[in-house]
Amino acid sequence: MQQQFLIYLVLIIIYFLHFITDQGTVNAQSSSCECSPAPYSQSGTIRCSTNSDCECLWTTLTERGICADAVMPCNNLQSCENDNKTCSIPNTICVNNTHCNRPVCYPLERASSQRCPSLNDNSTNNIPRWSSTTNMVAGCYAHASVLLKNGHVLVAGGSSAALITQVYNRAEGLWNRTGNMFFARAYHTLSLLNNGNVLISGGKGNGSSPNTAELYDPLTGSCTMTGNMSVERDSHTASVLTTGNVLVTGGNSSITSLSSAELFNPLTGLWTVTSSMSIDRTLHTASVLANGQVLVVGGESSIGLLSSTELYDLTRGVWSRTGNMISARARHTATILSDGKVLVAGGRLSNKYYTDTSEIYDPTTGLWTKTGNMTIPRQWHTASLLPNGRVLVVGGISNSVYVNTTEIYDPLTGLWAKASNMNTMRGYHTATIMANGRILVAGGLDNDVHPLFNAELCG
């Protein structure tokens, strides 16, 4: 009896020791801009600590990054077990993106927060996790950006850049001007088509708002005109459907906001009007769900801010209502999380107020639930899904000023945490996640209300 008790006691102690080591590992990570290497990358160059010897290593068993001192000779490190996931050596963990070119058992002690202080520590809060890159060719805000299939980022138009298109070359860290659009545009949309071309639609022009659309060809860097939409629209949404067609919804047209929606067929270059939403919406969001349906959320209408949301069924070409948000909002962000749910954050609540609240849509129930509040209210911010499933929110306008602050949402805890500041305050910018997991933030407006040339990288 007593012996059994002792065995249990020992097991419990072992369990807790494990727990403590696990916790140690988790704490060693930076939660700022995240320690999140691509699991397949050998690069190991992602900065995660104020100690530049520390790198973000990928743990094969727990499938997350740990920030560890990476200056260690390979021949001192044992290989992981044959499964390439586990280690039998005590106090080590199997990692597979070191320069050793084999999965190795890494001493956990090398991942301690003493050795690799987090970039997010209070004491080190001001250490930039953001790095500057070269300036854009033309300063702009209310422009649009998209990641091209060749890995470069296209930025088109925007206020003051008007007709200009420019491409960020990730490998060179340089911007190049490419062919002009035929129409000046701001508050327009870019959609990456399956053939690699980009559909540029609508927007606010210089004087008038075009109902026109153009196609950008990344091979030639030039634009050609394609079919016209049935109406002029800006501040609308454009979603690439699973069929390869593009669904455009709502937006502003001269003096009214629109309930109409239309579909672009890349094979014919023509638009067809599809059924209208239940109400006019502008400055709303549209997200393509895993089942192919498009979820349209909130926005401003002729009757005020909307909490209503609706779903577009592309097989039948019809809209149906789904759950209302808890809070009416426009100029928010909507992000599809890795579990298929949709996170909506911030936005405008009235002419005066913007919100720090966020909520989550569950496509299986059609219902919205409250989740954590952001650290500050924001509108005209951006939200990007990080490779590790968390969401990075950047900049925007808060309490009437443009901010340089950023924060991260963790879907596991439902909480937001402050992350490191950008070098520049901005709203009306774009944030584009590149194939290496780094985020390119470009342009926007600052408190001097100047269109920014400046761009910076996170991660």
In the complex, the residues that contact ligand NAG under the rule CB under 6 A are 39-40, 42, 58, 60, 63, 83-84, 96-97, 102-103, 122, 128, 152, 162, 167, 169, 174, 176, 184, 187, 204, 206-207, 212, 227-228, 234-235, 252, 257, 282, 300, 355-357, 373, 404, 421, 423, 425
Least spacing, CB of residue 11 vs ligand NAG, in Å? 28
Structure tokens at 190: 């870019």
Query: Of 348, 347, 300, 306, whose CA–CA distance to 325 is shortest?
Result: 306
Nearer to ligand NAG, 72 or 288 (CB): 72
CA atoms within 13 A on the CB side of 321: 8
Least spacing, CB of residue 144 vs ligand NAG, in Å? 13
Nearer to ligand NAG, 1 or 448 (CB): 448
Least spacing, CB of residue 5 vs ligand NAG, in Å? 39
Nearer to ligand NAG, 155 or 425 (CB): 425
Query: Of 198, 207, 259, whose CA–CA distance to 231 is shortest?
Result: 259
Least spacing, CB of residue 418 vs ligand NAG, in Å? 7
Least spacing, CB of residue 14 vs ligand NAG, in Å? 25
CA atoms within 13 A on the CB side of 68: 28
3-state SS of the chain is CHHHHHHHHHHHHHHHHHHHHHHHHHHHCCCCCCCCCCCCCCCCCCECECCCCEEEEEECCCCEEEEEECCCCHHHCCECCCCCCCCCCCCEEEECCCCCCCCEEEEHHHHCCCCCCECCCHHHCCCCCEEECCCCCCCCECCEEEECCCCCEEEECCECCCCCEEEEECCCCEEEEECCCCCCCECCEEEECCCCCEEEECCECCCCCCCCEEEEECCCCEEEEECCCCCCCECCEEEECCCCCEEEECCEECCEEECCEEEEECCCCEEEEECCCCCCEECCEEEECCCCCEEEECCEECCEECCCEEEEECCCCEEEEECCCCCCCECCEEEECCCCCEEEECCECCCCCECCCEEEEECCCCEEEEECCCCCCCECCEEEECCCCCEEEECCEECCEECCCEEEEECCCCEEEEECCCCCCCECCEEEECCCCCEEEECCECCCCCECCCEEEEC
Least spacing, CB of residue 1 vs ligand NAG, in Å? 43
Nearer to ligand NAG, 61 or 385 (CB): 61
Tally Cβ neighbours within 10 Å of residue 273. 12
Nearer to ligand NAG, 60 or 118 (CB): 60
Nearer to ligand NAG, 107 or 227 (CB): 227
Least spacing, CB of residue 299 vs ligand NAG, in Å? 9
Nearer to ligand NAG, 29 or 252 (CB): 252
Least spacing, CB of residue 317 vs ligand NAG, in Å? 23
Nearer to ligand NAG, 322 or 390 (CB): 390
What b/e string do you get for 47-72 counting C-beta neighbours within 10 Å, with b at 16 or more? bbbbbeebbbbbbbeeebbbbbbbeb
Nearer to ligand NAG, 30 or 282 (CB): 282
Type of residue found at 295: L
Least spacing, CB of residue 316 vs ligand NAG, in Å? 28
Tally Cβ neighbours within 10 Å of residue 42. 14
Nearer to ligand NAG, 97 or 239 (CB): 97
Nearer to ligand NAG, 195 or 220 (CB): 220
Least spacing, CB of residue 293 vs ligand NAG, in Å? 26
- Strand-pair partners of 435: none
Nearer to ligand NAG, 313 or 356 (CB): 356
